[in-house]
């Protein structure tokens, strides 16, 4: 079944589109959420808002790092939403992973997602279309996220840029 890759800016409608696509599936749906609220009240509110946008019958798995493991554990007949790769990459960097390790795991995850028998939608932010970050860490993260996005787009049957709630098919 196909892997769909949704990429765009913050609050562009990527997650809403992923929910809409999953809602069309007649079987079970699993959401693999990579965000951790920690002590961040604003992020906790975002997570709560995302949960409210999803049907209560959907399973949510909260896992900040083990993307490959959770992809492997997802039920084969379930529609899988991975939201989002940007937070996953940031979590991996914070955990001390090297860029090379992050890219390798991203490639493994993209291969697994593309090979599932049920659909998978992976959501990510396009962080490279704005200003050049002022710090080396910011520039490094921007570049790394671009490479992670490129890996997922290369494995995807369908890739879309989401802007202002609208989609543009990427070929």
Domain ranges of the chain: 3-170
CA distance 122 to 128: 18
Specify whether domain 3-170 bears CATH 3.90.1150.10.
no
pLDDT digits 0-9 by tens, 96-149: 999 999 999 999 999 999 999 999 999 999 999 989 999 999 999 999 999 999
Burial class (CB in 10 A: 0-12, 13-18, 19+), 42: exposed
155 noted as active-site residue:
no
Question: Catalytic one among 4, 30, 50, 112?
Answer: 50
Task: Give this prediction's pTM.
Answer: 0.94
The Cα–Cα gap between 88 and 102 comes to: 9
Q: What is the pLDDT of residues 58-109, one digit of tens each?
A: 999 999 999 999 999 999 999 999 999 999 999 999 999 999 999 999 999 9
């Amino acid at each position: 079944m196909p892997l769909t890759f949704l990429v765009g800016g913050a609050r562009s409608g990527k997650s809403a589109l992923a929910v809409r696509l999953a809602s069309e599936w007649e079987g079970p749906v699993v959401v693999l959420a990579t965000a951790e609220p920690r002590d961040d009240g604003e992020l906790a509110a975002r997570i709560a808002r995302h949960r409210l946008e999803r049907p209560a019958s959907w399973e949510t798995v909260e896992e900040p790092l083990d993307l490959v493991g959770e992809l492997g554990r997802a039920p084969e007949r379930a529609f899988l939403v991975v939201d989002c790769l940007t937070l996953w990459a940031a979590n991996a960097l914070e955990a001390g992973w090297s860029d090379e390790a992050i890219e390798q795991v991203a490639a493994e995850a993209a291969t697994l997602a593309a090979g599932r028998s049920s659909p998978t939608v992976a959501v990510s932010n396009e962080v490279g279309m704005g200003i050049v970050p002022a710090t080396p860490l910011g520039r490094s993260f921007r570049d790394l996220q671009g490479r992670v996005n490129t890996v997922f787009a290369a494995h995807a049957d369908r890739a879309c840029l989401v802007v202002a709630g609208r989609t543009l098919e990427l070929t």
